[in-house]
Amino acid sequence: MTDLTVFVAGLPKAELHVHHVGSASPRIVAELAARHEGRSPVPADPAALADYFAFKDFAHFIEVYLSVVDLIRDEEDVRTLTYEVARELARQQVRYAELTVTPYGHVIRGIPAGAVCEAIEDARAAAARDFGIQLQWIFDIPGESGLPAAEETLRIALDERPDGLVGFGLGGPEIGVPRPQFKPYFDKARAAGLHSLPHAGETTGPQTIWDALRELGAERIGHGIAAAQDPELLSYLAEHRIALEVCPTSNVRTRAVPTIEEHPLAQLVEAGVLVTINSDDPPMFGTTLEEEYAVAARLLDLDQAGVAGLSKAAVSASFLPEAGKQQLLAEIDSYTAAQNQG
């Protein structure tokens, strides 16, 4: 039987909660920082980025994240970033990813919305051709920018509507950013056929998740770890098969959870909630999707079949068309069977 680390490395995967800019590798961030040296606090030395990405709390994380967004000045930067993110995901045997893109952050920095959408679509086609990975987009509202950002994100989603767009989300801080105020925007996005995929219950309590469900029509919850505090909410999520996009290392690095040992992942799984494992902003948090699977395997005491089950859960909770889901699920089963014979 194959060692679990080797098994995870080769396992076909889906990634449902990973941010576009937050996935920029140290090499790409350093190249962009060098291009804009003197105009940005971001270090142009890849080795110095680990210290720069040492977050004091969630508010500090948002501050640092936005400083990296500032480095992306034109559509070529957007195209390069997207293509390189796809390369890294494909290296980890990710066959399908729903990448969270925040077009508002680029548009207010002077890149036209149409150019942003064209750049990510160009990269999507190139990634499928070169790496065999399928990307789809979730356009999210940066919560810290309020209702003007919601209005503009909705406009871009509906007017530009790139081919890969499947979801409408809400990211950024939760504290001081109540979910119900975004209901009109989610209503319109859902009416246009986009899936509702907001973040909730990462740094606040269960009520934020209830609000995302009741007010925003959430079909999956980004993070959602606060559900562990509410037995009624756990039952609701389990009964309605509403998946949580759990990102263990991220929760520790942003201080949402004190230590990895205190992470509520096991409690969520024991309650019957559909859980997917994701990397969020992997280079910023010093992790990869492979490492997140290893963390989950340790916290849940999983064998190879259990780890394969996590990958299958992500496929099932995804918005990949049904034929693609069945193909990827079959590939996971085939891989697992082959490893067990080895």
Beta-carbon contacts of residue 233 (< 8 Å; ≥ 6 apart): 206, 209, 210, 227
Strand extents, DSSP E, the chain: 13-19, 94-101, 134-142, 165-171, 195-200, 220-223, 243-246, 275-277
C-alpha–C-alpha distance, residues 98 and 278, integer Å: 11
Tokens of 244: 């949580």
134-142, strands of its sheet edge to edge: 13-19, 94-101, 134-142, 165-171, 195-200, 220-223, 243-246, 275-277
Strand extents, DSSP E, 57-152: 94-101, 134-142
For the chain, count helices (H), then strands (E): 16, 8
C-alpha–C-alpha distance, residues 186 and 282, integer Å: 27
Contact at 8 Å (CB) between 186 and 158? no
Please say if 202 is a catalytic residue: yes
C-alpha–C-alpha distance, residues 32 and 126, integer Å: 21
Q: How far is CA 327 from the centre of its chain?
A: 22
The catalytic residue among 88, 202, 219, 245 is 202
Indicate the angle between helix axes 26-35 and 75-91, nearest 10 degrees. Answer: 160
C-alpha–C-alpha distance, residues 287 and 278, integer Å: 10
Asked whether the CA dihedral 323, 329, 330, 332 is positive or negative, the reply is: positive
φ/ψ of 259, rounded to 5, equals -145, 160
Q: Can you give the C-alpha Rg of the chain in angstroms?
A: 19
Closest among 322, 318, 319, 296 to 308, alpha carbons compared: 296
> Which of the residues are catalytic?
202
